[in-house]
Amino acid sequence: MRKEKGLINLLLTIVAIVLIVILAFFGYLVYTDYFGEATIVIGEAGYPVIENSSLNESKENEDEVIEVDLSDTNNQSNNYINNHFYNQLSDSAKLIYMELYQNKENLKTGTFTVEFGDVFKDILSQENGSDILKEEYQSAIEAFTYENPDVFYLDVTKMYINIEMVKRLFSTKYNVYINSYQEPHYLAEPFTSKEEIDKCQSQIESVRDKILANINGKTKIEKIRYIHNYLIDNIEYDETIKQENIYNIYGALVQRISVCEGYAKAFQYLLNSAGIENIIVTGTATNNSGETENHAWNYVKIDNLWYAIDVTWDDPIIIGGGRLTDDIRYQYFLKGSRTMNKNHYVSNSFTDNGKQFQLPLLASVDYAL
């Protein structure tokens, strides 16, 4: 009897020891899954390809005179918030766009990290998830770039989206963030500091405020015409394509030298400030010399119809000097598709293999001035 009890006690002891070992083992696994060493893989999922659409661009040469709930960062009560491209993004791309939009001030440092944590876990858990996220980032950057001309200080080709993948025994966790990766910063040349950018922004806003004061009380058409004429009268076209800031609003509005992308962004910026719905479009155009090259211009909405305005081509290079007549100045002002489609060819994507955005349909005939 005693032997049987002793055997039973031994077996119970063995079972207890086994259970303790098993529990300890699983406890160790759980502990290491949360607190122990893990395999960390950090790799940049890519940076956006945003080529300057004005490189080798088309410029008219005349031989003789012939829509989302976005905050208003400028505190202009009548500002139009561009969201035409934003509204066409996926939810994931919208999230990336919004984080960039809401951190405009922080991005002026050139080193601020935009954090997403594990919000993209569902995407990254899929096969080729990092490639999918990279495409979402590309689309978000394109929409952000062409709807926010006030971020003149960013070089988005230096802004990398990074995926940090933490592999443990029972789980894989992700951390996604945007930074400059191995670049010292993601500021556009020649900007190097937030203080410098703030100074430049103040100069831009000073020009903007003077223009807004001059169009106060005018009709929408009068406002558009005034802004259009102001840019033509105050910007010099850079034929060398070598000057700094020729693709942004600082070059156009303050330094007063630009190429077509700078013209279009300055026009967009001022129309936004005046509360007038508009977008930038890019594509190619064939000039008077028969050359078809990259180009950028604008669409403006009036009475629920869209019309095209090409400020750059309304400011042609007049060889030999002379006066810019109204026939030339308004040759591409509020034009419909029958006029614009003769030599302007819109692209629905901003980059090769980029997202195909839907553009507004132009009115078929020109606006009757």
For residue 42, is pLDDT > 90?
no
* Confidence band, pLDDT 50/70/90 cuts, at residue 325: confident
Per-residue pLDDT of 224-238, as tens digits, reads: 999 999 999 999 999
Average pLDDT over residues 35-62: 47
284 within 8 A of 55, measured Cβ to Cβ? no
For residue 39, is pLDDT > 60?
no
299 within 8 A of 276, measured Cβ to Cβ? no
- Given this model, what pLDDT does residue 288 score? 84
202 within 8 A of 282, measured Cβ to Cβ? no
- Given this model, what pLDDT does residue 328 score? 83
Q: What is this structure's pTM?
A: 0.84
Per-residue pLDDT of 337-351, as tens digits, reads: 999 999 999 999 999
For residue 3, is pLDDT > 70?
no
Token pair listed for 193: 């500091």
- Given this model, what pLDDT does residue 9 score? 66
CA distance 280 to 293: 17
For residue 361, is pLDDT > 80?
yes
CATH of domain 194-346: 3.10.620.30
Question: Which amino acid would we find at residue 306?
Answer: W
Average pLDDT over residues 282-298: 94
User: Which runs of consecutive H residues, i.e. helices, occur in 59-193?
Assistant: 91-102, 104-107, 121-124, 129-147
Query: How many other C-beta atoms can be found within 10 angstroms of the C-beta atom of residue 32?
Result: 14
Q: Give the residue extent of every domain in the chain.
A: 1-36, 39-51+80-179, 194-346
Average pLDDT over residues 285-298: 93
- Residues in Cβ contact with 369 at an 8 Å cutoff, skipping those fewer than 6 apart: 221, 330, 333, 334
- Residues in Cβ contact with 113 at an 8 Å cutoff, skipping those fewer than 6 apart: 177, 178, 179
**Mean pLDDT, the chain, integer:** 85
Per-residue pLDDT of 153-178, as tens digits, reads: 999 999 999 988 877 667 788 999 99
